[in-house]
Amino acid sequence: MTATKDVLEQYRNVAVVGMSTDPEKPSHSVPLALRSAGFAVTPVHPSADEIAGERAYRSLADVPGPVEVVEVFRPAAEAPGIARQAVAAGARALWLQLGITSDEARRIAEDAGLDYVEDRCMGVERAKYAVRK
């Protein structure tokens, strides 16, 4: 597993799979905290057109431009499929949020050379290391 600080310092563009439209959920507030710290956040949501003023995309394959980090706010059972999509999208890192782990997603990501973080909150880790872009 890659050090969380390394991922935060190396990459700026974050595609958030499962970003919520509900401001009360961490899957909404954590990406906004990252955006406030200077990260470029791209929501990936199957039915939203826009979240928090950012255009939302239906899948990782639809996201234009560079996808550096894929941050995952989806159940662990979906992580291997998202890992495959991250590899196909040319991502550099896969980050499973706090409470999400997947041996299969880890294998897929690491076999493809992606940095891999699981069971950590990207927002908490960013604050802990005071990373700003």
Measuring CA to CA, which residue among 19, 96, 100, 95 is closest to residue 57? Answer: 19
- 65 pLDDT more than 90: no
For 25-37, how does the pLDDT look when each residue is reduced to its tens digit (9 = 90+)? Answer: 999 999 999 999 9
CA gap 116, 105 in Å, rounded = 9
Determine the pLDDT at residue 2: 76
Q: Is 111 a residue whose pLDDT tops 70?
A: yes
Q: Which CATH class is domain 4-129?
A: alpha beta
Q: Delimit the domains of the chain by residue range.
A: 4-129
Q: CA-CA distance, 115 to 6, in Å (whole number)?
A: 9
What per-residue confidence (pLDDT) applies to 32? 98
Q: Is the pLDDT assigned to residue 1 strictly greater than 70? A: no
**pTM, entire model:** 0.96
